[in-house]
A and B are shown apart, each in its own frame.
Chain A
Amino acid sequence: MSEHRTSLNRRTFLAAGAALSVGAVAAPHVSRAQEAATLRITGWGGKWGQIMSADLIPAFEKEYKCKVITDTALPFLPKLQASPRSAPIYDVLHTNSNEQWAAVEMGLVEPKIDPKQVPNLADVYPFAVSDKIVGVSIFTSAIGLGMRTDKGYPPVTSWKDFWDARYAGARGGYVIPVNSLGQAFLVMCGALYGKGYTDLDAAYGALEKLKPMKLVDFTGAMEKMLLSSEVGICVIHDSGIYRYYDDKPPTTFVTPSEGVLALEQVLSLTPGSKVKELANAYVNYMLSPSVQKKLAQSVWYSPTNKNVKLDEPYSSMLMTTPEKVSKLIQVDWKWYNARKDEIDSRVNRIFRG
């Protein structure tokens, strides 16, 4: 009797253990099946993140009766890369354009968005869906020159003024291997002093001539360097200057005559997303005039929906007309990413030397 009970207990124990193990592994699937549709996206922090989480995401969740989970903790690409293609960690990837190209090369995101699923795509400027863009650009900033206005510098009109000897030691730039503004500027150097945007030798030569130059890795650090007068002139995006509009610091943004470089905010969809319809709806929502206006006037990004009517001073300062948008120069990130290792190694040598 005793032996029988022991045997039964062991079997029961093993069966219970197995059931528990299966249950533990299956639990997430079961509970997920019972949940409302969940959209997993990436997004920025800072002011952008505040507006999204306080206002725009709750409105989207209410309208589409879903839950949106936003990951604002970088880096997004390695996380997406580490998740299975059939069950990606994100449904919508929001990054700058250079990372989108890296993602599409790895098959992590879809190259284009179907206009039938996203009606607002019909209203965007052509650059937002050009062959230089994966997915769709929902906003852009303009990369140009930022300057102190209290240093007695002469008026700046061209990118080439950045090389003026009077700015030696007062120039600010980026650590090119880790910053897309720095990468875009390198391409511009090739066009300014060589045969075109792909003339890397000319770009390297031009960078040599900019030394000594103060370099930062985080984009946001440059505006602080300019505000604190650590640099007098720098490569910067317009939002980095305009966001201090109310404080009226002695700084200004210059649109060089050769044009400004586009710093696009891009959305793309992951091929393995299980909520494609919702993901397309989210992209459409982000392109809707009301959302575009709200975000543009909060973070000073230029909307890509051409029907958006911004208030003053946003309307006159941001890229809101076809004439202004025609000044935008888009970097060929597919070309750049294919040469990134070689470029990184060369610019590291330039700025170390």
Chain B
Amino acid sequence: MLSIRIGRWIYLSVNALVLLFMLAPIAIIFVFALNPTPYIEFPPVGVSLKWFDKFFASTQFMSALALSLEVAAMTTVAATLLGASAALGIARGNVPGSRAITAVMLSPLMLPAILTGLALFQTYVLLDVGRPLWGLVVGHCLVTVPYVVRTTLAVLHNFDMKLEEAARNLGASPQRTFFEVTLPLIKPGVIAGGIFAFIVSFDQFPVSLFLVSPGQETLPITLFNYLKYDLDGTIGAASVVSILLAALVVIGLDRTVGLRSYVKL
């Protein structure tokens, strides 16, 4: 009994330490954002919202935030459609070399993203198309599609094909079978992949570094440049807003599509 209690205590302690390790940097960002001094100071000398005022009053930050949200939304839709379709094709299509195809689909995750960005930049320059918004979305899709493929394949791995066969035997068309049987069953993987795609795109720095066009910079790029010239609490405020937005997306999805029933933590 004593050993169970000690084991439980160790288990809880390790979990608490892991949580502390993961959340401590976020706590420091909140302190930096709320501290009135333009540098990180411990203990904080007070609480002020002036950096949030500066962040929301800055047209540069606001347009960067809007662009980041726009790109993340487009990337999420495109990556989810592409990734889920690719996963279905790999899992169902009896495609020769499906393992090799899966490895290729996941390969952008293994490449340093900065090289992906540089390679795309050079491609756009050679095609003489400049640095268009769609080019940035393509770059983000390259690094987010693998997440959707992976999560959808994980769900398809345990998928009972007999359910689809039953639907077809009962007279359902392939389309109806897909929308009423297949899609609801693979939804958890697709949604989880979509969430990953949104968050990875919204926070994407290395790919965007080369692909943003002058005057149209995403929030992480704007933050990086701001950091180089004007390091102050506005960076903290922007980071807090980013964290809250990412959390909002997850909570919003939970409320609208009932994430908790799909994604078991």
Contact = CB atoms under 8 A, between A and B. Distances in A.
Among B37, B40, B214, B225, the most chain A Cβ lie within 10 Å of the Cβ of B214
Contacts, number: 75
B215 A70 contact: yes
A73 interface: yes
Contact of A224 (B39, B129, B130, B228): B39
Interface in B198-214: 209-210, 212, 214
Interface string B47-65: 0000000000000000000
A73 B212 contact: yes
Given A218-B231, A220-B227, A227-B39, A71 B125 contact: no
Nearest to B225: A45
B65 to A, nearest CB: 16
A46 B122 CA distance: 28
Contacts of A83: 125
A79 B215 contact: no
B231 A224 contact: yes
B124 to A, nearest CB: 10
Nearest to A71: B214
Given A221-B231, A228-B40, A46 B226 contact: yes
A220 B230 contact: yes
Contact of B128 (A29, A45, A75, A228): A29
A89 B210 contact: no
Nearest to A222: B231
B108 interface: no
Q: Give the interface size class of chain B.
A: 20 to 34
Interface string A46-86: 11110000000000000000000111111100110011100
Contact of A46 (B130, B217, B224, B229): B229
B209 A73 contact: yes
Nearest to B229: A46
Contact of A220 (B121, B209, B229): B229
Interface residues of A, number: 32
B41 interface: yes
Contact of B217 (A73, A79, A227): A73
Contacts of A322: none
A79 to B, nearest CB: 6
A84 B122 CA distance: 9
Contacts of A218: 227-228, 231
A25 interface: yes
B134 to A, nearest CB: 12
A353 interface: no
Interface in A184-221: 218-221
Contact of A48 (B210, B226, B229): B229
Contacts of B226: 45-46
Interface string B106-140: 00000000000010011001111110000000000
A313 interface: no
Q: Report, nearest first, the 7 A-B pairs whose CB atoms are least far apart.
A: A46-B229, A224-B39, A71-B214, A228-B39, A45-B225, A82-B122, A46-B230
Given A46-B230, A74-B224, A79-B121, 11 more contacts: A28-B128, A46-B229, A73-B209, A75-B209, A78-B210, A82-B121, A82-B125, A89-B125, A220-B229, A221-B231, A228-B37
6 contacts: A28-B130, A44-B229, A74-B224, A83-B125, A89-B125, A227-B39
